[in-house]
């Protein structure tokens, strides 16, 4: 029933966009959609009937549990803020002739539809259904990347589609494996996650490892894990910043969410030690590549994009540890990273609006007088940078710290390597910010830079996210802990 409400709201939003005449109307439809989705998911939490199994929704394909709801909550918050942000941002894109007014319908239509598909993906009980929705998120978000008036965007979008979709086909073969495993064990094949979890104890480990490895390929590509991360920096950099925030804060989570779900099944079999090792190795490699790529970066958005790759690697490592506490902090890190990263991309977008006229897309970011011209965005980058590198008072500090503590018990060598890599990544971020933001032009040159009048709607999401991360990092409520513990319990760790 509740799913029907989500679908109806999205359909109404799509209809409003189709009928809408002005940019404001279409944008308002997207804001309203995300806001109603947020209200619906908060209501779902408060109504406390979770996990909802097949009965409440009416068929075996969907279900709602704490993990799905948690991800939906994160996604809707980011979509809401991104839609508020897009109002001013997209208007400026049109003025700068980077986006044609005619493409607006396509842009907002894809936007509204993407949110629905993501919500449905998180509420899918059937893994094949989840696979299909994940595939659809690739296609639709690629459309959002390609919407800008530039050949590079199309290139980035095509690269994104092909890397993600080709890898996702491997996942599908993995799912066929999983289906066949359950068929040979129980008699009737199923891909329903809840049923698989119950049966997992008797799955043969060899087949499970093969299935997981194949499924991992696809979801790793979706979440930008090495060696499938190559699409990520390009797509994130080329996309309009409002879309980059969604790509990084929500879509990467879809991939990680898939890995968590399948890993929970593996965790119940004897194959878990092999698979943990696989996750650890790929996690470390991902952080390694990301940290080294961040070091020479001269473009702000690319730096932030590689930082996303780094954080996905951290999530994999945390998952590899596979203790309940590690899973708890992995989940916390998912949220912390999503909010922090969205804030960073929003700030980067404002800076790009400020300095775009003097920049070709491939030029080095040459930002001057940031603090006088764009104080909110500048502080957004500085504080967001502190947050993403894991400074105290911010939530990533907590999750990184406790994940590292957990890792120490799992593999001290990995801990040392990871610490060094995290230090490099943090150094790269700090170096960039200090070098770029201290550039002050002489008094004579000051006049040539025209100040971009940032609409309040663009500054607001940055401030909201900063406040939100500060609260998350300093206050941990018992409700939050209970909620996350509930997820850990449902994943049977």
Partner 1 sequence: MIDPALVQSVIRILFAVVIVTAAYIISTRNLISLVSVYALQSLTLVLMALALWSLEGATVLLAIAAVTFVSKVLIIPYFIASIQERIRIRRDIEFHFLSPTTSLLLSMALILFIYIALANILEGTPARESLFFFGAVIGLSLMLMGMMVTFSRKRAITKVLGYLSMENGVLLFGMFVTELPFIIEFLIIIDLVILVMLTTILTVGLDSTLEEYHQRLHRFHLVGDTEDGP
Kindly list the residues in this chain that would bind partner 1 in the complex (CB under 8 A): 21, 94-95, 97, 100-103, 105-106, 126, 128-129, 132, 135-136, 139, 142-143, 146, 149-151, 154-155, 157-158, 161-162, 165-166, 169, 172-173, 176, 179-180, 183-184, 189, 191, 206-207, 210
Question: Considering beta carbons, is residue 45 or 169 the nearer one to partner 1?
Answer: 169
Question: Considering beta carbons, is residue 92 or 340 the nearer one to partner 1?
Answer: 92
Q: Say how far apart CA 168 and CA 344 lie, in whole Å.
A: 29
What's the gap between Cα 29 and its chain centre? 23
3 state SS of 144: helix
We find the least distance from the C-beta atom of residue 161 to partner 1, in angstroms, to be 6
What's the gap between Cα 25 and its chain centre? 27
Q: Say how far apart CA 305 and CA 333 lie, in whole Å.
A: 17
Question: Considering beta carbons, is residue 19 or 434 the nearer one to partner 1?
Answer: 19
Say if residues 425 and 312 touch (Cβ distance below 8 Å).
no
We find the least distance from the C-beta atom of residue 295 to partner 1, in angstroms, to be 28
We find the least distance from the C-beta atom of residue 327 to partner 1, in angstroms, to be 29
Question: Considering beta carbons, is residue 247 or 424 the nearer one to partner 1?
Answer: 247
Q: Spell out the residues 6+ positions from residue 166 whose beta carbon is closer than 8 angstroms to its own.
A: 221
Question: Considering beta carbons, is residue 179 or 397 the nearer one to partner 1?
Answer: 179
What DSSP character marks residue 62? B
Question: Considering beta carbons, is residue 155 or 369 the nearer one to partner 1?
Answer: 155
The 10 Å CB-count burial string (b at 16+, else e) for 231-269 is: bbbbbbbbbbbbbbbbbbbbbbbbbbbbbbbbbbbbbbb
Q: Spell out the residues 6+ positions from residue 231 whose beta carbon is closer than 8 angstroms to its own.
A: 156, 159, 160, 163, 164, 221, 224
Length of the chain (residues): 493
Interhelix angle 104-122/2-19, rounded to 10 degrees, is 170
What are φ and ψ of residue 53, in 5° steps?
A: -100, -165
How many Cβ atoms sit within 10 Å of the Cβ of residue 55? 8
We find the least distance from the C-beta atom of residue 14 to partner 1, in angstroms, to be 14
Q: Say how far apart CA 353 and CA 373 lie, in whole Å.
A: 11
Question: Considering beta carbons, is residue 126 or 399 the nearer one to partner 1?
Answer: 126
We find the least distance from the C-beta atom of residue 357 to partner 1, in angstroms, to be 15
We find the least distance from the C-beta atom of residue 170 to partner 1, in angstroms, to be 8
What DSSP character marks residue 248? I
Question: Considering beta carbons, is residue 162 or 401 the nearer one to partner 1?
Answer: 162
Question: Considering beta carbons, is residue 128 or 266 the nearer one to partner 1?
Answer: 128
We find the least distance from the C-beta atom of residue 331 to partner 1, in angstroms, to be 29
We find the least distance from the C-beta atom of residue 348 to partner 1, in angstroms, to be 24
We find the least distance from the C-beta atom of residue 130 to partner 1, in angstroms, to be 11
C-alpha dihedral (266, 271, 276, 278), degrees to nearest 10: -110
We find the least distance from the C-beta atom of residue 371 to partner 1, in angstroms, to be 30
We find the least distance from the C-beta atom of residue 103 to partner 1, in angstroms, to be 6
3 state SS of 191: coil
List beta partners, residue 62: 124
Question: Considering beta carbons, is residue 274 or 323 the nearer one to partner 1?
Answer: 274
We find the least distance from the C-beta atom of residue 15 to partner 1, in angstroms, to be 15
Q: Say how far apart CA 436 and CA 448 lie, in whole Å.
A: 18
Question: Considering beta carbons, is residue 275 or 491 the nearer one to partner 1?
Answer: 275
DSSP string, 86-142: HHHHHHHHHHTTSS-GGGHHHHHHHHHHHHHHHHHHHTB-BHHHHHHHHHHHHHHHH
Question: Considering beta carbons, is residue 154 or 292 the nearer one to partner 1?
Answer: 154
DSSP string, 259-271: HHHHHHHHHTSTT
């Amino acid at each position: 029933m509740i799913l029907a409400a989500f679908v109806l709201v999205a359909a109404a939003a799509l209809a409003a966009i189709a009928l809408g005449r002005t940019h404001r109307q279409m944008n308002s439809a997207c804001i309203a959609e995300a806001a109603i989705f947020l209200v619906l998911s908060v209501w779902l939490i408060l109504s406390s009937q979770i996990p909802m199994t097949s009965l409440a929704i009416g068929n075996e394909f969907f279900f709602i549990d704490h993990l799905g709801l948690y991800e939906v909550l994160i996604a809707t918050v980011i979509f809401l803020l991104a839609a508020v942000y897009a109002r001013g941002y997209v208007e400026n894109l049109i003025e700068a002739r980077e986006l044609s007014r005619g493409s607006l319908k396509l842009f907002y239509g894809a936007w509204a539809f993407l949110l629905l598909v993501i919500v449905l993906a998180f509420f899918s009980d059937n893994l094949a259904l989840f696979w299909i929705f994940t595939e659809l998120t690739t296609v639709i978000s690629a459309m959002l990347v390609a919407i800008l008036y530039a050949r590079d965007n199309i290139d980035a979008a095509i690269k994104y589609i092909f890397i993600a979709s080709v890898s996702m086909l491997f996942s599908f073969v993995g799912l066929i494996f999983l289906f066949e495993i359950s068929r040979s064990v129980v008699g009737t094949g199923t891909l329903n996650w809840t049923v698989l979890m119950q049966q997992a104890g008797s799955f043969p480990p060899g087949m499970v490892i093969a299935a997981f490895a194949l499924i991992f390929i696809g979801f790793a590509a979706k979440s930008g894990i090495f060696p499938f991360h190559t699409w990520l920096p390009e797509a994130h950099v080329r996309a309009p910043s409002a879309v980059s925030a969604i790509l990084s804060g929500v879509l990467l989570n879809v991939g990680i969410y898939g890995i968590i779900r399948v890993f929970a099944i593996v965790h119940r079999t004897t194959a878990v030690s092999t698979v943990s090792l696989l996750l650890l190795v790929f996690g470390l490699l991902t952080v390694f590549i990301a940290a080294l790529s961040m070091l020479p970066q001269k473009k702000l958005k690319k730096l932030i994009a590689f930082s996303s790759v780094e954080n996905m690697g951290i999530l994999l490592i945390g998952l590899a540890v596979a203790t309940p506490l590690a899973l708890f902090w992995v989940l916390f890190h998912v949220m912390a990273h999503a909010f922090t990263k969205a804030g960073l991309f929003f700030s980067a977008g404002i800076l790009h609006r400020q300095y775009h006229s003097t920049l070709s897309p491939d030029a080095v970011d040459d930002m001057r007088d940031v603090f006088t011209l764009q104080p909110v965005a500048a502080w957004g980058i500085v504080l967001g940078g502190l947050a993403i590198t894991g400074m105290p008072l911010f939530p990533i500090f907590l999750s990184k710290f406790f994940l590292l503590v957990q890792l120490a018990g799992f593999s001290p060598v990995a801990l040392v390597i990871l610490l060094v890599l995290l230090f490099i990544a943090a150094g790269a971020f700090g170096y960039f910010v200090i070098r770029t933001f201290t550039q002050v032009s002489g008094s004579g040159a000051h006049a040539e830079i025209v100040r971009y009048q940032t609409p309040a709607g663009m500054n607001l999401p940055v401030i909201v996210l900063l406040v939100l991360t500060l609260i998350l990092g300093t206050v941990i409520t018992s409700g939050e802990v209970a909620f996350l513990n509930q997820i850990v319990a449902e994943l049977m760790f």
